[in-house]
């Protein structure tokens, strides 16, 4: 698994437009092998910006790298130059490889095993 994140410092008066760009875009992610999930996250508000992050989960780092070299990536980012005035500076990319993953399904299974062991 690989998690790709971009952080955006959005100008406070441009948050609605920034969100509409994302919500109205023609996402190409679903066409890519290894794509798992995408989230657009809104974070804290500061004096000069509102922090946003795009959070994309990939089956592997190689699947993410294939996305960055794809025609779908070029299409998805074709509007990027026209949205520049919406945020301060360039988006900050961060890539992560999980060390540990927990989920409710795993927790439920663990609880069931514990209940069976106690019984």
Question: What backbone phi and psi angles, to 5 degrees, belong to 31?
Answer: -85, -10
- Considering its fold, how many domains does the chain have in total? 1
Its domain, for residue 31, covers: 2-118
The C-alpha atoms of residue 20 and residue 58 are separated, in whole angstroms, by 24
Q: What is the pTM of this model?
A: 0.80
Predicted pLDDT of residue 77: 77
Predicted pLDDT of residue 62: 97
The C-alpha atoms of residue 97 and residue 2 are separated, in whole angstroms, by 5
The model's pLDDT over 21-58, given as tens digits with 9 standing for 90+, comes to: 899 887 889 889 999 999 999 999 999 999 999 999 99
The C-alpha atoms of residue 52 and residue 15 are separated, in whole angstroms, by 9
Whether the per-residue pLDDT at 8 is higher than 90: the answer is: yes
Whether the per-residue pLDDT at 113 is higher than 60: the answer is: no
The model's pLDDT over 79-112, given as tens digits with 9 standing for 90+, comes to: 665 666 898 989 999 999 999 999 897 666 555 5
Assign residue 39 the CATH number of its domain: 3.30.70.100
């Amino acid at each position: 698994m690989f998690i790709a994140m971009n952080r955006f410092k959005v100008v406070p008066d441009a948050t609605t437009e920034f969100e509409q760009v994302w919500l109205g875009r023609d996402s190409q992610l679903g066409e890519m092998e290894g794509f798992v999930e995408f989230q657009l996250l809104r974070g804290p508000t500061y004096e000069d910006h509102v922090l946003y992050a795009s959070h994309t989960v990939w089956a592997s780092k190689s699947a993410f790298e294939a996305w960055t070299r794809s025609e779908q990536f070029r299409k998805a980012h074709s509007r990027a130059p026209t949205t520049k005035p919406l945020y301060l500076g360039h988006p900050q990319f961060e890539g992560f490889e999980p060390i540990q993953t927990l989920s409710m399904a795993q927790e439920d299974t663990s609880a069931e095993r514990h209940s069976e062991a106690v019984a």
